[in-house]
Structure 1
Amino acid sequence: MICFDRYRREGGRWEIITEHSMGIYAALAAAGSVTFEDGLEMVKGIGLILEEMGSKRPGAMAAIIGLDRDDVQRICQEIDDLYVANLNGSQHFVISGKVVAVNDGMELALKRGAISVQRLTFNVPLHSPLMEPIKEQVRHLLNDFRISAPQIPLISHWGGQPLRDPAEIREFLVQQLYRPVDWEGCVRSLIADGVKCFVEVGASDTLTKLIRWIDREAKTLLYGVTDDP
């Protein structure tokens, strides 16, 4: 959000805002749906809920590069408590589940030809059905905050679906914890709708790289802490 505020003050322009995974909270603040302060408090509250879950029912996540979607889905079908959490782009996926299941999935992915398999620094199985037990806690937390309709079109990581209504946004914030991220579908939908340039605002170029994997012709720009607009 600090980067976005600087980008705005220095004349950066945008017509649509989209988000990836837990980046939804920064996107909501950027779109004017929540205040900056409430966005921080939401993230803090969600973090505490996830921390508690991680201590009681730990999970894991891992990135897999180099297999097709069908290959990764087949691995998850063969291993109990393992799910596709992120469809990030051409042959780039994240799996999520119980710790043993993720370890087995990583091993099987390598055996089946994955170029790279990397354990992520999460101790909860985000974007999988295993997160459903905390949905009422999250829903209760969100009731303490005011959420308005976005002042700028806000596109979700569910394949490019727009988020318009405050009630719809609240439900998205709950469900996105246990539903997969379809970043590839989101990017392809935006390109089909005429988006010509993607600007990633932040200190990382992760989404920029993923967009280039999805469509090498897409124009991308990165605006970070030390970058110029």
Structure 2
Amino acid sequence: MTGSDVSRETRRQLRHWGKHAESYDTQIAKLERSMLVGTREWIGERATGRVLEVAVGGGRSLPYYRKGVSLIGVDLSPAMLALARRRASELGMDVDLREGNAEALPFPDASFDTVVCALALCSIPRPDVALTEMARVVVPGGSVVIVDHVRSSSPLIFAGQWLAERFTIPLEGEHLTRRHRDEVEAAGLVIVEEERLRSGAVERIRATRPVTS
């Protein structure tokens, strides 16, 4: 994923995940047993029909999708996709995994019944653009399902997140104080489910693309 149409920040992310795919997969597994417990199950329960997972990473959501879904996963990083392919093979799953930029999804309008993005908008350089793309490729009446860590509603935790960002943003492109609710609505989606957990530091959203006459 190179070329003049790819931003400097996106190229930095590509280099980062190329170096740290394996270690990230291990780190996120630990978080899923604590801060993010139940997250993958929540996603799988809401994904139906033709499903696109944006920034599929190492494929940690794969075991939780229901039988019968038709699943495509895209990710910027070939190293991450290699992990996802290995996981899909171990699970015996038939998944179409391909390179793709969340900010320019390589699919026609209204291609999917469900679009999923888990723990990725925190590091996608332009999350508003990525959400607009997700809204574009989901069918009217379809769902966009998002889970991410966001700025906490606790002032003390927020202060810690802000301080940590002084290192995580320049080193990893990782934002800890973003929140995507307004960007979801700006993309033309209607929020139908929303909850914040862990002192507001984890947010789950299911939104739909309106059906127009």
> TM range, normalised to the smaller chain?
0.3 to 0.5
The structure with the largest alpha-carbon Rg is 1
TM-score, with normalisation over the residues of structure 1?
A: 0.31
